[in-house]
Amino acid sequence: MNWGYRIFVSFVLFVGLIVTLVTISMRQDINLVAEDYYEQEIEYQDQIDRLKRTSELKVQPEIRLVKPENLVVIAMNQEKVEKGEALFFRPSDSTMDKLVTITNNASREISVAGWEPGLWKVKLSWQADGKEFYTEKTIFL
Confidence of residue 32 (pLDDT cuts 50, 70, 90): low
Q: Which residues pair with 133 in a beta bridge?
A: 126
**CA nearest to 98, candidates 76, 124, 67:** 124
Could you tell me which residues are beta bridge partners of residue 121? 89, 138
pLDDT at 38: 76
Shared domain check, 43 and 16: no
- The pLDDT of 65-73, averaged and rounded, is 85
Q: What is the pLDDT of residue 17?
A: 97
Q: Do 22 and 41 share a structural domain? A: no
Q: Which neighbouring-strand residues pair with 132?
A: 127
In the chain, % of residues over pLDDT 90? 16
Band the pLDDT of 21: cuts 50, 70, 90: very high
Give me the CATH number covering residue 77: 2.60.40.3760
Residue 49's φ and ψ, nearest 5 degrees, are -65, -40
Per-residue model confidence (pLDDT) at position 105: 65
C-alpha distance from residue 124 to each of 7, 11, 106 (Å): 61, 56, 14
pLDDT band (50, 70, 90) for residue 106:
low
Instruction: Indicate the pTM of the whole model.
Output: 0.68
Which residues constitute the domain of residue 3?
Answer: 1-30
Residues 8 and 42 in one domain: no
- What are the start-end ranges of the H helices in the chain? 3-26, 37-42, 44-55
The count of other CB atoms within 10 Å of the CB of residue 55 is: 10
Residues 81 and 104 in one domain: yes
Across residues 59-82, what is the average pLDDT? 81
Are 69 and 130 in a shared domain?
yes
The total of structural domains in the chain comes to 2
Cβ pair 76, 64 in contact under 8 A? no
65: exposed, middle or buried (Cβ count in 10 Å: 0-12, 13-18, 19+) = middle
Is 80 exceeded by the pLDDT of residue 67? Answer: yes
Per the prediction, the chain carries an average pLDDT of: 84
Residues 96 and 122 in one domain: yes
